[in-house]
Structure 1
C-alpha cells in the first residue's frame, strides 16, 4: 500500500535532502535525523552509490521513516530504488511519466514543478505532493499565488534555499512541508551536526 504522505508530513514537515551522503555514513545520519524528529529522507541520485544508501536506510529505519531518492530522470532508476526498499520519488522537474511509473510501484511521488501547467499535469498523473523548485526563484509570494489555484488538499513543498530564517515566511504562504538540503546536511557533516541542524529547523517551525 502506498504510504500516506500527508500523515508523514504531519509527523514532521521537513524532508531531509542528503545530497552527497556516503553509504558508510548514511545509517548514522539517518539515526540522528529520526531521533531529532525528521522522518522523511531523500538520497539524491547524484550522490555516491545512492541506491546502496537507500537500501541501508530502508533496512535500518523500516517504518520509522519514509525513505526514497531524488533527482530521478529515468524509469529504470525508479525500479532500482524501489527494489532497494525506497518508497519515495522526488524529481527536480515535471515528468508525468516518472510519476506514473512510481505510482505503479506503490511509491509516494513528489515531483518538481514551477508553473500551474506543470502542477496540474503532475496531479493528473497521480502525484501525491508537489515540490516547488527552485523555490528561491519565486519566493513565498509565488507559493501563495499557486496555492490559490491548486486543489486545497495538494501538499506543496518549497525546495531550494529553505532555511530556519525563511521557514516562517514559507509557512505563512501555505507550504505543507519543506525540502531542506544544505540547511540540514552537507557532505562532511557529522551525525551530531546534522541533529543540531534538525533541531534548529524544527524549532523554527
Structure 2
C-alpha cells in the first residue's frame, strides 16, 4: 500500500493506539481486540519488550488489517531499525530533521513531536507528513483551534492527555486524528487480562470521533 493510502487510512481511523511496554503474551490478543473495535492504527513504542521483533510480527499477522508503526523514536538508528522491520510510520515525541528525512526517504509516514507554531512550521518544511502536538494535555483542545487560522494546512495529531471526554473537541478543533495511550490501553486492564474492556473504550473513542465528524 502506498504512503498516500496509508496516510488516508491513518486519518480515517481517527485514533492511533499507543502500545507502550505491553507484555508480549498479551500484545496480539490486544491488537486483535483493537482492530475488531475499529482502531486499526497501532504505534508500538521502541522502548517496549522486543519492539522491533514485535513490529515485524504485527505486520506479518495484521498488516492487511492495520497500519503498524513505531513510536518514541528519537534517533535515526531507531528509525532505521523500525523501518527495516516494516514500520509504516515513525512517531516521535520531538522533532529531528534527520529522522524526518530518513523516514521520507524510506517512503514511510513521518510524524515528529512539536509544540510551538515555529516548531510546527519547521517540521512541516522539513517534510513531516503530520505533526504530533505533544503533550496535548499542556495546551488543551483550544490550542488546536487557535492554530487552525494560520496553520490549518498542516495536519495535526494531538497526543498526551486525550481521552473519551475530550476527543470530540480535539477533532472538532482541527485534529486529523489523535494519539491515545493510557486512557485507552489501561495498565490495570492489561494486568487483569481484561482485554474486552479496552475494546469497549476503543469503541467509545470511535463513536465520539464519528459524532465530532458528523458521520
* Distance apart, 1:11 and its partner CA: 2.9
Query: Which protein is richer in helix relative to its size?
Result: 2
* Distance apart, 1:99 and its partner CA: 0.7
1: CA distance, partners of 2:5 / 2:122: 21
* Distance apart, 1:10 and its partner CA: 4.1
In the other structure, the counterpart of 2:123 is: 122
* Distance apart, 1:70 and its partner CA: 0.7
2: CA distance, partners of 1:113 / 1:47: 23
In the other structure, the counterpart of 1:168 is: 168
Change (3 A) 1:6 1:80: closer
In the other structure, the counterpart of 1:65 is: 66
Aligned residue runs from structure 1 range 86-97, under 5 A: 86-97=87-98
In the other structure, the counterpart of 2:213 is: none
**Number of residues of Structure 1 aligned to a counterpart in Structure 2:** 204
After the TM superposition, which parts of structure 1 deviate over 4 Å for at least 4 consecutive aligned residues?
none
SS in 1 for 2:25: coil
* Distance apart, 1:194 and its partner CA: 2.1
> Is the 2:69–2:88 Cα contact (8 Å) retained in structure 1?
yes
SS in 1 for 2:99: helix
2: CA distance, partners of 1:28 / 1:45: 19
1: CA distance, partners of 2:174 / 2:152: 12
In the other structure, the counterpart of 2:184 is: 184
TM-score where L is the length of structure 1: 0.93
Change (3 A) 1:117 1:45: same
1: CA distance, partners of 2:21 / 2:117: 31
TM-score where L is the length of structure 2: 0.89
Compute the RMSD of aligned alpha carbons: 1.5
> Is the 2:16–2:179 Cα contact (8 Å) retained in structure 1?
yes
2: CA distance, partners of 1:32 / 1:3: 26
2: CA distance, partners of 1:84 / 1:52: 7
Gaps of 5+ in 1: none
